[in-house]
């Protein structure tokens, strides 16, 4: 795949980039290794100053980088501005909280004495250069949610971004440089996927994090496992959105529209499978479908646009295959189900709601990465949970109920890394983020995320000579 900015609104190639050659990759790996040896000794106050400066610069650049993201991958420009603002918030959050999150831990005095020590503690130390293999769908946020905690922990970053967002990737390197981080602390590697293995196997790379597809995660995890290197994986999701009779159905339906089409439907944590109790199914389906049908599809640089194009022609083709397969097997399109006829040039797809979903349809098992929702009717609580868990993924989930006993059941039984009641899934720097099953392992954000790439070191002191 070429490294290029291709505008998904019209398919026009705007700018291409040459991949780094072996000599330049070696130079950058050496720079990362040298930077880590110095940067790891800096204190939290200095790291916080640098990250705070990066946040200030990003805040100033918000309009320009939002336009770049929209041009490269098609998200509505308002959503792109919100993404930049979220990155600013997260940088400042880690600048303020990292020292406390990585403070020494002190075991109980009784346990220390029992171990034969005079005193003991757990101390967190950085690992080194972390390779981040990142996707195009949130081209700024996915990187910052790795980079902010990693840099505050004393690690350095090597970014292999998706090949269709090279300008955003280069902006990130320049942002940290302008903020004053030492040379080599954060570098963008413009390379193809074929170069990842050699970089990950290099002894100067300590660990890796990947957000992306299941095949990509499997590949990176296999290589890292062979090298005995730590990885964190955030892969696909087919999140359930459960609506029970006690819910505020109108609010649940309105929120469902946003939950499905955020980022043009191209989000791992977007709600995708809408599981509605039979008692409120018809009412929810009517309101949800009306909301999806009312969305404005068009130029993502216009503030009035709700849904822009998919990021690539192949992405749209993959989505079409899932919808066509479902319809052939008996699914009913309550709205959408095709390309908009008035937008012939870009990679657009109509917001779509499919009902009558059965287990023999590919869309029941595979992630639909675009503005396509599937509707399920559940007879009772048990069936709703069974449908919700009938997926190879387990990233997040949404449940609408005002029944306390039902809340307890969902918390106990839903198989996911997060459960959001009476609202839609969203990430926040204070809460751990990640999944189970084929959605990956490890956690980003919060204290869990910053400690993923740290060496939790036991420091034990015995009695000295008498």
Out of 87, 268, 335, 454, pick the active-site residue.
Answer: 268
Q: Where are the beta strands (DSSP E) in 88-204?
A: 117-126, 129-133, 156-160, 186-188
* Catalytic residue flag (residue 356): no
Q: Residue 198 in contact with residue 227, Cβ under 8 Å?
A: no
In DSSP notation, 34-92 reads: HHHHHHTTS-HHHHHHHHHHHHHHHHHTHHHHHHHHHHHH---HHHHHHHHHHHHHHHH
Q: How far is CA 251 from CA 79, 254, 269, 350, 465, in A?
A: 21, 5, 19, 23, 70
**Catalytic one among 72, 173, 234, 367?**
234
| Length of the chain measured in residues | 466
Residue by residue, DSSP assigns 272-283 as EEEEEETTTHHH
In which region does residue 390 sit, left (phi positive, over 0), alpha (psi from -120 to 50) or beta (all else)? Answer: beta
- For β-strands 186-188 and 420-421, DSSP reports them as unpaired
Instruction: Report the run of H or E that residue 213 belongs to, with start and end.
Output: none
Q: Which residue has tokens 């059941």?
A: 409
User: Is 26 a known active-site residue?
Assistant: no
Of 371, 417, 427, 463, nearest to 112 by C-alpha is 463
The CA–CA distances, whole Å, from 87 to 140, 141, 142, 298 equal 7, 6, 9, 26
Of 417, 324, 315, 312, the C-alpha closest to 363 is: 324
263 Ramachandran zone, left/alpha/beta (phi>0; psi -120 to 50): left
Q: What is the distance between the alpha carbons of residues 424 and 253, in angstroms, rounded to a whole number? A: 11
Element (H, E) at 373: strand 372-378
Catalytic residues: 234, 268
């Amino acid at each position: 795949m070429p490294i290029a900015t291709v505008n998904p609104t019209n398919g026009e190639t705007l700018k291409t980039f040459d991949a780094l050659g072996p000599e330049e990759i070696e130079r950058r790996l050496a720079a990362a290794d040298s930077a880590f040896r110095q940067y790891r000794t800096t204190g939290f106050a200095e790291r916080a100053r640098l990250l705070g400066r990066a946040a200030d610069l990003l805040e100033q650049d918000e309009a320009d980088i939002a336009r770049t993201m929209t041009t490269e991958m098609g998200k509505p420009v308002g959503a792109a501005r919100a993404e930049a603002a979220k990155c600013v918030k997260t940088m400042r959050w880690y600048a303020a909280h990292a020292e406390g999150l990585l403070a020494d831990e002190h075991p109980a005095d009784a346990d220390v004495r029992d171990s034969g020590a005079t005193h003991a503690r757990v101390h967190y130390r950085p690992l080194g250069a972390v390779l981040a293999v990142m996707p195009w769908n949130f081209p700024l946020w996915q990187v910052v949610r790795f980079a902010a905690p990693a840099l505050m922990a004393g690690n350095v970053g090597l970014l292999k971004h998706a090949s269709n967002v090279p300008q955003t990737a280069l902006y990130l390197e320049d942002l940290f440089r302008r903020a004053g981080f030492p040379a080599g602390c954060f570098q963008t590697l413009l390379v193809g996927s074929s170069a990842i293995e050699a970089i990950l196997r290099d002894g100067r790379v300590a660990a890796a994090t990947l957000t992306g597809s299941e095949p990509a995660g499997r590949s990176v995890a296999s290589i890292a496992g062979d090298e005995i290197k730590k990885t964190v994986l955030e892969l696909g999701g087919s999140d359930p959105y459960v609506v029970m009779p006690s819910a505020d159905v109108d609010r649940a339906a309105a929120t469902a529209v946003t939950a499905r089409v955020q980022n043009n439907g191209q989000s791992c944590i977007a709600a995708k499978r809408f599981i509605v109790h039979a008692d409120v199914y018809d009412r929810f389906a009517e309101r949800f479908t009306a909301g999806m049908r009312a969305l404005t599809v068009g130029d993502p640089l216009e503030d009035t646009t709700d849904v822009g194009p998919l990021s690539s022609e192949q992405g749209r083709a993959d989505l079409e295959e899932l919808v066509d397969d479902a319809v052939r097997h008996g699914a009913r399109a309550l709205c959408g189900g095709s390309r908009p006829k008035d937008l012939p040039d870009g990679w657009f797809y109509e917001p779509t709601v499919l009902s009558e979903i059965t287990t023999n349809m590919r869309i029941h098992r595979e992630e639909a990465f675009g503005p396509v929702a599937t509707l399920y009717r559940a007879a009772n609580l048990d069936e709703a949970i069974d449908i919700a868990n009938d997926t190879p993924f387990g990233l997040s989930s949404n449940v609408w109920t005002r029944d306390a006993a039902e809340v307890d059941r969902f918390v106990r039984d839903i198989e996911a890394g997060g459960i959001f009641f009476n609202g839609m899934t969203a990430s926040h720097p204070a809460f751990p983020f990640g999944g189970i099953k084929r959605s990956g392992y490890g956690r980003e954000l919060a204290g869990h995320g910053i400690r993923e790439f740290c060496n939790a070191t036991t420091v034990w002191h015995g009695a000295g000579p008498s």
